Structure 1
């Protein structure tokens, strides 16, 4: 089966006063149609930059310096800027953390959704509005026709995020990159949107890359998970197995710090130290200064270890028990 999205060796760097800094380092993963890939890690781990790199939205002083981004078998990095622009929205779309990065505050919802439709599919405005209404109904917005006549500020945060997702769905793209779209929402609205996303993936075959720092969200939504640290994927595999029995020490630390896994009042375990600065990474494994399993061998670059159910970037993978 052709993967909806196949990322191979993606590397993104930024020029700073101290030289080039690699924010995404040799990242590879694939997502099949109708599947959801969770991309998790601490702030600064490279999750969002990975999403923007896939979309071709990295501007100077940054650049995608290596790798392939295959959408439906076509490498977006080899396309001309014009052809890449044509693929964005039609074949691969993005939902941002702040829906107002998608929505224009001075235009009615229907007007801007209709414009998004007609960029790729020339048609009458009435036909474009009909498609916009259908997209709003797909994400569970009631009275969809009436919502087309309002401005974004007249909608709640959860409703605006649904509109942003509906806009991404207008051309039935094969891939949607979702960059922490539920972070600013309350728990009940978040749960509703996650349920809609799961339904959309199952019913439409759209593949999602769900960027999040929230392991609880990813564990309930994603089929597979990639754990990122300092710009690298350190563990990837089926979500339920990774959550139940992490094999990388960093993954174990992330899961151990989830409040829901501990008794009320119990002190949460912490990963010692802080995420390293990308301009001054430790030699060898970047997680070495914070790792409870570090040995002198970890001063060398960690190997990519293929285990039975996952891949781990580590000299000393943990035992496969919960």
Structure 2
């Protein structure tokens, strides 16, 4: 099956006073239609920058310095600014962590969604509002006709996030990139939105990249997982492989630090140290200063080794049973 999104060698750099920092370092992955890929890692690992880089939303002093981003049969990296702008929303959409980054507080929901429709497809406003109403219904918003007349502040946080997802769906894009869209929501609302996203992927065949630091979320939502650390993908595979049989010590550390896996009252394991500054990465494996398995060979660049669809960037990968 042809991938809806195929990223190869994506590299993004920022010019700072301390020198040039590589925030996304030779990142490659693909997502097939109807599948959800979880992009996981600690804060500062490069997850969100990867999402913005795919869409060409990196501003100075940053720049996407290399790689290929194929959406269906089009390489977004080769497009002019105008052509890329026409692709956003129509072929590839983004759902931001804060829906108020998407929604204008002084415009009604219907007006904003109709505007998003008509910018790509000229049509009467009444027809655009019909499409907006249908999109709200798809994401499970009750009484969608009434919600079109509401302002963003009149909706709950969960409802606003559903509106943001509905807006991303207006043109039936091949790919949706969701940047931690449920982080600020309570658990019950988060669960509802995750269920809706899973259903949408299955029914519309939209490929979804779900950016998160929460392994509990991706374990129940994603089909595939890529784990990022210091701008690199250090492990990738199916959700069953990465969650059930992690091979990178960093992935193992993330899983061990999930509270629900331990007896109440026991000390929670944690990964020692903190994420290194991208301007002062250690030589070789960027995780080596925090890794319990590190040896002298880890001062050299680790190779990517694969077992079927399961790949790991490590000199000393964990064994699978």
| TM-score band w.r.t. shorter chain | over 0.9
**What is the number of residues matched between the two proteins?**
321
Map 1:174-253 → 2, pairs under 5 A: 174-253=174-253
Matched-pair contact (CA < 8 Å) for 1:2–1:73: no
Stretches of structure 1 lacking an aligned partner (at least 5 in a row): none
**Structure 1 length as normaliser, TM-score?**
0.99
Query: Is the partner of 1:130 in helix, strand or coil?
Result: helix
**Aligned 1:86-105 pairs, distance under 5 A:** 86-105=86-105
Q: Deviations over 1:66-117 (max 9, x none)?
A: 0000001210010111000000000000000000000000000000000000
Which residue pairs with 2:308 in the alignment? 308
Task: Give, in angstroms, the shift of residue 308 of structure 1.
Answer: 3.0
**Which residue of structure 2 aligns with residue 76 of structure 1?**
76
Please state how far the C-alpha of 1:147 moved relative to its aligned partner: 0.2
Corresponding position of 1:114: 114
Residues 1-322 of structure 1 aligned to structure 2 (within 5 Å): 1-321=1-321
Q: Secondary structure at the match of 2:119?
A: helix
Q: Name the SS for the 1:120 alignment partner.
A: coil
Question: Secondary structure at 2:20's aligned position in 1?
Answer: strand
C-alpha distance in structure 2 between counterparts of 1:82 and 1:230, whole Å: 32
Q: 1:39-77: CA deviations, max 9, x gaps? A: 000000000000000011001000000000000121001
Report if the CA contact (8 A) 1:3-1:73 is conserved.
no
Structure 1's consecutive aligned runs of 4 or more residues displaced over 6 angstroms after TM superposition are none
Following superposition, the deviation at residue 309 of structure 1 comes to 3.7
Distance 2:311 2:73 in 1: 23
Does structure 2 retain, via aligned residues, the 8 Å contact 1:94–1:177?
yes
| Distance across 2 between alignment mates of 1:254 and 1:24 | 20
Q: Which runs of 5+ in 2 are unaligned?
A: none
Residues 39 and 47 in structure 1, CA contact (< 8 A), matched pair in contact too:
yes
Rounded Cα–Cα distance in structure 2 between residues aligned with 1:46 and 1:131? 35
Q: TM-score, normalised by structure 2?
A: 0.99
Report how far residue 11 of structure 1 moved. 0.2
The Cα of 1:211 is off from its aligned counterpart by 0.1
Query: What root-mean-square deviation, in Å, do the aligned CA atoms of Structure 1 and Structure 2 show?
Result: 0.5
Q: Deviation at 1:266? A: 1.4
Q: Secondary structure at the match of 1:27?
A: strand
